[in-house]
C-alpha cells in the first residue's frame, strides 16, 4: 500500500495522535481489568473472613455444649436441672484478639431427658446454636446432637 506524501505533509501529528489514542484505550482496558481483579479479591477475602467467624462460633458453641453435657452425664443433679423451669446462664464474653463472642447456655430437663442449648454470637451479627439431648434413663446415657439457628 502506497502512502500519499501530500496527505502526511498536511497533517504531521496525525500518526502521533492515533498512537496516543490507542495507548489510552489499552491503558483504560488494563486499568479496568486490574480494578475488577482487586474488587473480586476483596469480596473473596470478606467471604473467607465471614466463614472463619462462623466456624469459630460453631466450635465455641459445640465446646460449651460438650462441657456442660459431660458434666450432666457425670452428675445429673450438678446444675439442678431436674425441674421443668430450666436454667439460663449469664452471657459470657470470650475475646481472642480481634474476635469477640458471647456464649449463653440454657439447660432444661425432667427425670428422663436433659436439653442443653449453647448459643455463641458475635458482635458482627453471626451466631451458632448447638443443641444436645441427654437421655437420662439409659445406661450409658445417650446424647443426641443437633446444630442450627
Do residues 61 and 128 touch, judged by C-beta distance below 8 A? Answer: yes
Which of 128, 124, 126, 79 lies closest to 106 in space, CA to CA? 79
Ranges of beta strands (E only) in the chain are 87-88, 92-96, 99-109, 113-122, 127-135, 142-147
Residue by residue, pLDDT tens for the chain (149 residues) are 565 565 556 667 778 888 999 999 999 999 999 999 999 999 999 999 899 999 999 999 999 999 988 888 887 776 665 566 777 888 899 888 888 899 999 988 877 788 889 999 998 888 999 999 888 777 777 777 777 65
What is the model's pLDDT at position 38?
97
Which pLDDT belongs to residue 79?
64
Cell 425441674 belongs to 83
Query: What cell does 139 get?
Result: 445406661
Is residue 68 packed enough to be buried (19+ CB in 10 Å), middle (13-18) or exposed (0-12)? buried
| Domain range list for the chain | 10-147
16: enclosing H helix or E strand:
helix 14-74
The cell 458453641 sits on which residue? Answer: 61
Amino acid at each position: 500500500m502506497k502512502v500519499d506524501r501530500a496527505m502526511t505533509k498536511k497533517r504531521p501529528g496525525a500518526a502521533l495522535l492515533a498512537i496516543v489514542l490507542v495507548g489510552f484505550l489499552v491503558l483504560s482496558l488494563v486499568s479496568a481489568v486490574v480494578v475488577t481483579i482487586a474488587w473480586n479479591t476483596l469480596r473473596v477475602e470478606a467471604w473467607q473472613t465471614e466463614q472463619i467467624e462462623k466456624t469459630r462460633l460453631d466450635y465455641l458453641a459445640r465446646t460449651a455444649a460438650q462441657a456442660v453435657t459431660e458434666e450432666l452425664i457425670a452428675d445429673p443433679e450438678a446444675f439442678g436441672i431436674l425441674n421443668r423451669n430450666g436454667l439460663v446462664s449469664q452471657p459470657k464474653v470470650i475475646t481472642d484478639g480481634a474476635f469477640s463472642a458471647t456464649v449463653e447456655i440454657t439447660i432444661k430437663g425432667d427425670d428422663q431427658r436433659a436439653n442443653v442449648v449453647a448459643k455463641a454470637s458475635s458482635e458482627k451479627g453471626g451466631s451458632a446454636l448447638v443443641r444436645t439431648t441427654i437421655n437420662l434413663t439409659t445406661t450409658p446415657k445417650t446424647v443426641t446432637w443437633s446444630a442450627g439457628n
